[in-house]
Amino acid sequence: MSDDENEILEVVIPETLVGWRVDRALAMLTGRSRAETLRLVDAGLVTLGGRVLTKASTSLESGQHLEAVIPPLPTGEVEPDASVVVDVVREDIDFVLINKRPEQVVHPGAGQTTGTLVAGLLARYPEMARLVDEGLCEAPRPGIVHRLDKGTSGLLVAARTPEGYLSLSEQASSHTMVRTYWAMAEGHLSDDRGVIDAPIGRSLREPTMMAVRADGRVARTHYEVIERLDSPHAATLVELRLETGRTHQIRVHLAAIGHPVVNDQRYGHRRERRLAEGRFFLHSRSLSLRHPRTDDVVTAVVALPDDLLALVGGTRWT
């Protein structure tokens, strides 16, 4: 789903809503459940008086300006589709590790309702539908505990059992699930390693985009330079690890320091296209998690796909 399909709610708080909790007011204004509105707050999609809201229990006051980015409603149960390619890296009773293709959309949304990765997973692992039946997941996202945007390739984990879902969801939300990414950034980063520590919130100029904002949510990205390249343009191959997991965090942070992700036409600038339309140089390279049953560390690594390898000059980075 693209951010472009989201709706923007803007309201000046009337006397009738004074004293209401934000999540309760949002549920009334949008027709969504309280659980859904809590997720909006947790995702940093709600602002009150121009500041990103961090507590759903905040009481409303008369005249305050409330704004929320509202994703489309779920589109219902997903039909299994065996034609969808599922590139399995590791299969376990509780989860499956997948190497997502860049053109794939993880789950249905307003922008795409069929042919998603979830449809392929349900065809291969029909037991994942149980997670919806037991109320652990919403219908369009059975087993999904984190996602990669369309345009990003690489490792993704999905749960197959309730035990797996509960464990992996907690690991994802507490950031004990460690994911590293490889990106190519425009230009040469001056330091070999560092931390980008800049809060992220919704852009005031374009609410469907994220931006560095003083009143945003804490966001930290650790990076280390792998190689600086000079041809066909100055660029830096860099490894990144997220200490936090904000929407579009890597793309926003690299753009904020003047080195946007190569071919990122949303947060960067448009040079001669070196990748397919909608594809940018961002790859989920490795993922480490605790096994839901044994607590053993499980680690997987996937090589750069061919389209990205072509930009780094060969196979030495596989």
Token duo for residue 196: 């980008």
Token duo for residue 233: 């343009």
29, amino acid identity: L
- Please tell me whether residue 187 adopts helix, strand or coil conformation: coil
Annotated catalytic residue 149: yes
Token duo for residue 26: 């949002």
How far is residue 158 from each of residues 66, 93, 106, measured CA to CA in Å?
Answer: 34, 11, 10
Nearest Cα to 108, choosing from 77, 83, 86?
77
Peptide bond into 232 cis (omega under 30): yes
- The answer to whether 222 touches 243, Cβ cutoff 8 Å, is yes
Pick the catalytic residue: 149, 192, 264, 307?
Answer: 149
- Please tell me whether residue 240 adopts helix, strand or coil conformation: strand
Distance CA 257, CA 230 (A): 19
User: H helices of 127-177, where?
Assistant: 130-133, 162-174
In the chain, DSSP assigns E strands to: 7-12, 46-48, 51-52, 65-70, 88-91, 95-100, 153-159, 178-186, 193-197, 200-202, 210-212, 220-229, 235-242, 282-290, 297-301
Query: Which residues participate in catalysis according to the annotation?
Result: 149
